Amino acid sequence: MPRLDPEQQAALAARVNYYRDLGVFDFYRRGDAIPESAPVLAAVEAGAEESMPKKSSIAPPQELFVAGTPIAPEKREGALKAIREDIGDCTRCPLAFAGRHTIVFGEGDPNARLMFVGEGPGADEDAQGRPFVGRAGQLLNNMITAMGLQREQVYIANIVKCRPPQNRTPEPVEANTCSQFLFRQIDVVRPEILVALGSTAATYLLGGKASLSSLRGRLHEARGSKLIVTYHPAYLLRDPRQKKEAWADLQIAMAELGLKAPKRPAGV
């Protein structure tokens, strides 16, 4: 039997962990007889995966599983907590074993009209368990303030919730495994405007890869929200000349939200 390359091994490990989270622990080769004592696996083989029982430490609100049905504002905080409980001490992808200290779930107003999505946690975020708290986070705070809002009025999350080693770009198996929880967060909050911070966030929110320059300056759609693409604050720290371009992107969001632009946006 040929050996799997590292990427295939990581993808297989993520898939095995996924089935373990569903309560599936025995695996059989295609064509083998499945014991009658393995009803869950039989359901998988029959293509009835959605009917399998979900293994979870809590009973999440029913609204989480009704596609397209909005959750009442007063229930959104509880729904987000249910998603976090569902994540648990996650080992679904290789990032769990790559030096992670803390899962960075996301934070902000469960009823926010505006949501920012970045790539993944850095060292400061991994240490504190909060998104965007380092130097890039300070700049993001300035950007939010310049829009006439406070950080507590928006919602902030990332494509992946564990820090990639050396802050590298998340591998596809990592981002695809983890983004399911981000999508559930978006579905709960239901922001009017999503802001993708950087190309990685844009790629996974839009479901395809394109240059940042081709995506900026116009509205897109993602999970029922209007989506705007702009530079990641970490990039703006490396190239401050692009802050004016980022501010132009944020003004598109402000126009959609009916916010008035301050005359002199400080720190942006």
pLDDT for residue 40 is more than 50: no
- The pLDDT of residue 133: 97
174-208 in b/e burial notation, b at 16+ Cβ within 10 A?
A: bbbbbbebbebbbbbbbbebbbbbbbbbbbbbbee
CA 11 to chain centre: 19
Residue type, position 171, single letter: E
Question: What is the average pLDDT value for the chain, to the nearest integer?
Answer: 83
60-109 pLDDT, tens digit per residue, is: 344 344 445 789 999 999 999 999 999 999 999 999 999 999 999 999 99
Residue 193: what are its φ and ψ, rounded to 5°?
-125, 130
186-223 pLDDT, tens digit per residue, is: 999 999 999 999 999 999 999 999 999 999 999 999 99
Nearest CA to 119 out of 182, 77, 207 is that of 182
92's enclosing H/E stretch is none
SS3 249: helix
pLDDT for residue 50 is more than 50: no
Number of residues assigned to the chain: 268
Neighbours of 237 (CB within 10 A): 14
CA distances from 111 to 2, 75, 156 (A): 51, 10, 12
- The pLDDT of residue 69: 77
Neighbours of 29 (CB within 10 A): 5
